[in-house]
Amino acid sequence: MSAAPVIQVQGLTKAFRTYKKEPGFGGALRGLFHRRYEQTLAVKDVNFNVAPGELVGFLGPNGAGKTTTLKMLAGLLYPTSGSARVLDFVPWERADGYRRQFALLLGQKNQLWWDLPARESLELNAKIYGIPRAAFERTVTEMTELLAVKDKLNVMVRELSLGERMKMELIAALLHRPKVLFLDEPTIGLDVVSQKTVREFLREYNAREKTTILLTSHYMADIQELCRRVIIIDHGTIFFDGLLSDIVDRFADFKLITIQLSGAADRPAESLAKYGELVEQTPRSLKFKVKRDRQIAVCKALLDDFPVTDIDIEEVPIEEVIRQIFAR
Q: What is the DSSP string of 109-123?
A: S--S-TTSBHHHHHH
DSSP string, 62-89: TTSSHHHHHHHHTTSS--SEEEEEETTB
CB 59 within 8 A of CB 322: yes
pLDDT digits (tens), the chain, 328 positions: 467 899 999 999 999 877 666 676 666 666 666 667 677 888 999 999 999 999 999 988 877 888 899 999 999 999 999 999 999 999 999 999 999 999 998 877 778 888 889 999 999 989 988 999 999 999 999 999 988 899 999 999 889 888 888 899 999 999 999 999 999 888 887 888 888 888 999 999 999 999 999 999 888 888 888 999 999 988 889 988 999 888 877 777 788 999 998 877 777 777 888 899 888 888 888 999 898 889 999 999 999 988 889 999 987 777 777 777 777 6
Cα torsion through 147, 229, 103, 191, rounded to 10: 30
Residues 6+ apart with CB under 8 A from 292: 253, 254, 255
Please determine whether the domains at 7-249 and 252-327 fall in the same fold group of CATH: no
All structural domains of the chain with their residue ranges: 7-249, 252-327
CA-nearest of 87, 88, 92, 132 to 12 is: 92
Rounded to 5 degrees, what are φ and ψ at 297?
Answer: -65, -40
- Per CATH, which fold does 252-327 belong to? Alpha-Beta Plaits (3.30.70)
* Alpha-carbon dihedral 70, 72, 77, 82, rounded to 10 degrees: 150
Using an 8 Å Cβ cutoff, are 9 and 74 in contact? no
State the pLDDT at residue 1.
47
- Domain 7-249, what fold? Rossmann fold (3.40.50)
